[in-house]
Every structure is written in structure tokens, then in C-alpha cells.
């Protein structure tokens, strides 16, 4: 029996691990074949390790375990030409693409002295990288195709990623995520006559490497010299209205699945928070 996205092909950036891997597996569970890309190397300004070839191989294993097919390639979302080549390789295998999940993102935080490229690196991946993924896929998307973008609830909230203690890279992250709100709405309007819909999902804290690293632990617990995961859980929990420290990647993937499926065929231009009520609890930011 065909799943909710049976017969579709999804192009997913940042699919090596974290949310991107979860999206790939969840869509595959519901019948999609996957074109997965990730950078598979480090960006110097980013303080936590990015995905590796072994990470992407695990994504391949998990997708194939569902019985669906996957083409997984190294590609940097900052490189539009290279990204387009990876997409074309996937299309050569599967014949078409129906869904774009522009998920790749980084949060470069100042762990010591901020570097001049921190802001630019964040913008290049979190904003330009999204636009590049959309640009290479648009000529290939059919009617009723779907573009799903990863935003950020924290980016909507003052006194979070724009906290000076987090440095220019975090400011670039927040600015990029805020621009994506209007980008989603404008792109949806432009593509509506072709029945191509565009929606953005804004997660709260998600149980991934972007959350679990020394930099963010120190931001949440500046009173401790080297806070541990256990030390930050109460602060993480305080951030949401629901009493949880974070959501799981699959909680975001379930929203991606809805936007990728024909169930959302007339849903476009939406900025959907999956945030356990965090923005309702702190509309002016956690210190506002």
C-alpha cells in the first residue's frame, strides 16, 4: 500500500544526520525516494562537528532499510553549481523530483574571539544555501510540487541568538532565519499560479548536535564553567511552555511529511512553529 508520499522523490539538504536524516527516513517510510546531500566537512567558524561520510552512509542504510531508494552525495549548499549537479545526478536515477527540503543549517557561535567571517558563514549556509537549493530545483519541480524550508523559533525571539555573548555568527543565524519568513511568503505567492507550494517550519530546541555542544550549554548556563548536558536540562525546559527540554527530530519530520504530501496541496506561505509553545511563553524573548 502506497504511503502518504508514495511515488514522490524528495531532495533534502543537510541529510547526513540530525533533522535532515530524520526527514529522509520519515519520508522514505511513507514511500518517497530520496536525493540526500551534505557537506561532509567542517566549516571553521562552526564550533561543533558537522557531518561526516560515515554519517551520510548511516542515512543511506536507514533509508534503504525502509525499502526505498536513495542517492546520497557530497554537496555544499553554498555552491549552487555543485548543488545543482548533485540534484541532477539524483534525477538521472529517479527521473524526477517533487519535494525540496531546504534543511541544511549551521549556528556558528563565538567560543573564544569572534572571527570576521562568522556572520557571513551563517548567512551563506542558512539563507543563501536555502535559496540555492530552491533555485536548482525550481526548473525541475512539477505542479503540486512542494518546497519545505527550515527556519527557527529562536530566530523569531529577541534576546536569543542575537545575544551579544553568542557572537556575530549567531546574529547571522538569527537574521537569516527571520529573512526566511518573508522569503517563504513571497516565493509562495510567486509560485502559486503553478500550484507549487512553499512553507517554512520553525523548530524550538531540537535534540541534535546544534543544541548539544559546549557553546550552547554555556549560553544556557553562564553561571557554570563547564556545564554538562544534565546541567542545562532545567534551562532547556524553561525555554518551552510545555515542560520538555527539546523536541525530537521526528517531531519536525512529521510536519515536513505533511507539507510534502498531497494533504497540504492548498497549504502555502505558512510559517509553522513546532516549538512546544516557546514563542507564546516568551514573545519578547526569554530575558525580555
Catalytic residues, by residue number, are: 173
DSSP codes of every residue in 89-139: HHHHHHS---EEEE--------SSS--TTHHHHHHIIIIIHHHHHHHHHGG
- From the CB of residue 240, how many other CB atoms can be counted at a distance below 10 Å? 22
Dihedral over Cα of 63, 68, 73, 77: its sign: negative
Phi-psi region of 87 (alpha: psi -120 to 50; beta: other; left: phi over 0): alpha
Report the distance separating Cα 172 and Cα 123, nearest Å.
Answer: 6
User: CB of 18 within 8 A of CB of 42?
Assistant: no
Residues ≥6 apart with Cβ < 8 Å to 164: none
Handedness of CA 31, 67, 58, 216 (dihedral sign): positive
Q: How far apart are CA 75 and CA 202, in angstroms?
A: 24
Q: How far is it, in rounded angstroms, from Cα 150 to Cα 173?
A: 12
Amino acid at each position: 500500500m502506497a504511503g502518504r508520499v508514495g511515488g514522490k522523490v524528495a531532495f533534502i539538504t543537510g541529510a547526513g544526520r540530525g533533522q535532515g536524516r530524520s526527514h529522509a527516513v520519515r519520508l522514505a517510510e511513507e514511500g518517497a525516494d530520496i536525493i540526500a546531500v551534505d557537506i561532509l566537512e567542517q566549516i571553521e567558524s562552526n564550533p561543533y562537528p558537522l557531518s561526516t561520510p560515515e554519517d551520510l552512509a548511516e542515512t543511506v542504510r536507514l533509508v534503504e532499510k525502509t525499502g526505498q531508494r536513495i542517492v546520497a552525495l557530497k554537496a555544499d549548499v553554498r555552491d549552487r553549481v555543485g548543488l545543482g549537479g548533485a540534484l541532477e545526478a539524483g534525477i538521472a536515477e529517479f527521473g524526477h523530483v517533487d519535494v525540496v527540503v531546504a534543511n541544511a543549517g549551521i549556528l556558528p557561535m563565538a567560543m573564544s574571539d569572534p572571527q570576521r567571517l562568522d556572520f557571513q558563514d551563517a548567512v551563506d549556509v542558512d539563507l543563501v544555501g536555502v535559496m540555492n537549493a530552491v533555485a536548482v530545483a525550481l526548473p525541475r519541480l512539477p505542479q503540486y510540487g512542494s518546497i519545505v524550508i527550515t527556519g527557527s523559533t529562536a530566530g523569531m525571539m529577541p534576546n536569543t541568538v542575537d545575544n551579544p555573548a553568542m557572537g556575530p555568527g549567531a546574529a547571522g543565524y538569527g537574521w537569516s532565519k527571520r529573512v526566511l519568513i518573508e522569503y517563504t511568503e513571497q516565493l509562495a505567492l510567486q509560485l502559486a499560479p503553478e500550484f507549487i507550494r512553499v512553507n517554512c517550519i520553525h523548530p524550538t530546541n531540537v535534540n541534535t548536535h546544534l543544541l548539544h555542544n559546549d557553546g550552547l550549554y554555556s549560553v544556557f548556563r553562564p553561571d557554570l564553567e563547564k556545564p554538562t548536558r544534565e546541567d542545562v536540562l532545567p534551562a532547556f525546559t524553561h525555554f518551552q511552555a510545555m515542560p520538555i527540554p527539546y523536541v525530537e527530530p521526528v517531531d519536525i519530520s512529521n510536519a515536513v511529511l505533511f507539507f510534502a504530501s498531497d494533504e497540504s496541496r492548498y497549504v502555502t506561505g505558512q510559517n509553522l512553529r513546532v516549538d512546544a509553545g516557546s514563542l507564546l511563553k516568551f514573545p519578547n524573548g526569554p530575558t525580555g
